[in-house]
C-alpha cells in the first residue's frame, strides 16, 4: 500500500479560524487572516473542536493518492459519501497479471497461503483467456476482491474526522484501518491542531459505540487512569 497526501488547502487551520471569525465580524476574510497568528489560530481551532462547531472545517480539503490497495478496501472506502473519488477502471484498463493483496491471516498460514496463491494464478489465467473472446468489461467479472487498485480521494476536514472515528477503530477491517492510520499521520503533519483529537471514540470521547462487538480497548484505557 502506498498513500500520499498530494494536495491540500493552503494554511488549512488559518482558513478554518478565519471562517469562524467571519461569522462575528464585519471585516473581510483577507483582513481577518492578516490578524491571525499561529497562537490565535490554534486557540480558535481548539475551541471550535471542543464546542462541536465543525462546519468551518468543511472549508478545507485534503487530496490523497492511494495505490496498491484491494478492491475489498475500495468498496469500504466509498461508503464514506462526503468525499470525492476517482478509481482505476477495470472496464478500460486490462488487469493481465494483476497484483493482489494477501491478508495477514493468509500469509501466516502456509497451507492457506499456498491455496490463496493457486487461486490467484488460476484467476489470472481465466481472465486472460476470457479477454480473447469477450470485452474487458465482461472479463472483469472473474477478478477477485484481492485485485489491487488505485484511488484518488478528496475529503474535507470534517468528513475526515468522521472517517478516522470509524476506520481507526480496532473493530475496523485491518486493511482500511491501516489506510486510515496512514492518512491520519499525513494530515497531522500539515494540520496538527485540526486533527490532534482525531481517532476512535474510545480515545477521543471515552466511549465505545460497538456494543457487544467492542474490542475491550476502552476498559483497558479506563484501567490506566
Q: Is 224 contained in some domain?
A: no
Does one domain contain both 167 and 187? yes
Among 167, 171, 188, 217, which one carries the catalytic annotation? 167
- pTM score, whole prediction: 0.92
- Looking at the structure, do residues 115 and 28 belong to the same domain, yes or no? no
Q: Is 81 assigned a ligand-binding role in the annotation? A: yes
| Same structural domain, 166 and 65 | yes
> Is 90 a domain residue?
no
Choose among 3, 5, 6, 8: nearest CA to 61. Answer: 8
Q: Is the same domain home to 165 and 62?
A: yes
Query: Any binding-site annotation on 139?
Result: no
> Domain check: are 153 and 133 in the same one?
no
- Is 217 assigned a catalytic role? no
89 is in an annotated binding site: yes
Same domain, 16 and 47: yes
**Host domain of residue 108:** 96-142
Query: Does a structural domain hold residue 205?
Result: no
Whether residue 193 is contained in a domain is answered as yes
The domain total for the chain is 2
**HEC profile for 9-62?**
CCCHHHHHHHHHHHCCCCCCHHHHHHCCCHHHHHHHHHHHHHHCCCHHHHHCEE
Q: Which residue has cell 486510515?
A: 180
Residue 140 marked as a ligand binder: yes
Give pLDDT tens digits along the chain (225 positions): 999 999 999 999 999 988 888 776 656 677 677 778 888 888 889 988 888 889 999 999 999 999 999 999 999 999 999 999 999 999 999 999 999 999 999 999 999 999 999 999 999 999 999 999 999 999 999 999 999 999 999 999 999 999 999 999 999 999 999 999 999 999 999 999 999 999 998 988 888 888 888 888 877 776 665
- Shared domain for 76 and 175, answered yes or no, is yes
Does 88 belong to an annotated binding site? Answer: yes
Amino acid at each position: 500500500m502506498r498513500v500520499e497526501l498530494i494536495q491540500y488547502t493552503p494554511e488549512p487551520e488559518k482558513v478554518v479560524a478565519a471562517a469562524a471569525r467571519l461569522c462575528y465580524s464585519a471585516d473581510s476574510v483577507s483582513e481577518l487572516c492578516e490578524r491571525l497568528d499561529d497562537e490565535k489560530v490554534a486557540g480558535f481551532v481548539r475551541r471550535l473542536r471542543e464546542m462541536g462547531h465543525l462546519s468551518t472545517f468543511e472549508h478545507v480539503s485534503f487530496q490523497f493518492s492511494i495505490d496498491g490497495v484491494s478492491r475489498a478496501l475500495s468498496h469500504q472506502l466509498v461508503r464514506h459519501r462526503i468525499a470525492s473519488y476517482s478509481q482505476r477502471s477495470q472496464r478500460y484498463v486490462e488487469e493481465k497479471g494483476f497484483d493482489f493483496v494477501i491478508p495477514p491471516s493468509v500469509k501466516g498460514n502456509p497451507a492457506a497461503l499456498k491455496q490463496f496463491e493457486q487461486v490467484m494464478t488460476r484467476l489470472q489465467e481465466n481472465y486472460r483467456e476470457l479477454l480473447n473472446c469477450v470485452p474487458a468489461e465482461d472479463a472483469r467479472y472473474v477478478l477477485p476482491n484481492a485485485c489491487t487498485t488505485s484511488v484518488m480521494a478528496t475529503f474535507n476536514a470534517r468528513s475526515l474526522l468522521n472517517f478516522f472515528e470509524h476506520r481507526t477503530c480496532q473493530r475496523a477491517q485491518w486493511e482500511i484501518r491501516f489506510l486510515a492510520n496512514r492518512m491520519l499521520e499525513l494530515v497531522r503533519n500539515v494540520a496538527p491542531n485540526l486533527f490532534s483529537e482525531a481517532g476512535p471514540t474510545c480515545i477521543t470521547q471515552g466511549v465505545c459505540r460497538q456494543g457487544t462487538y467492542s474490542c475491550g480497548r476502552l476498559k483497558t484505557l479506563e484501567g490506566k487512569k
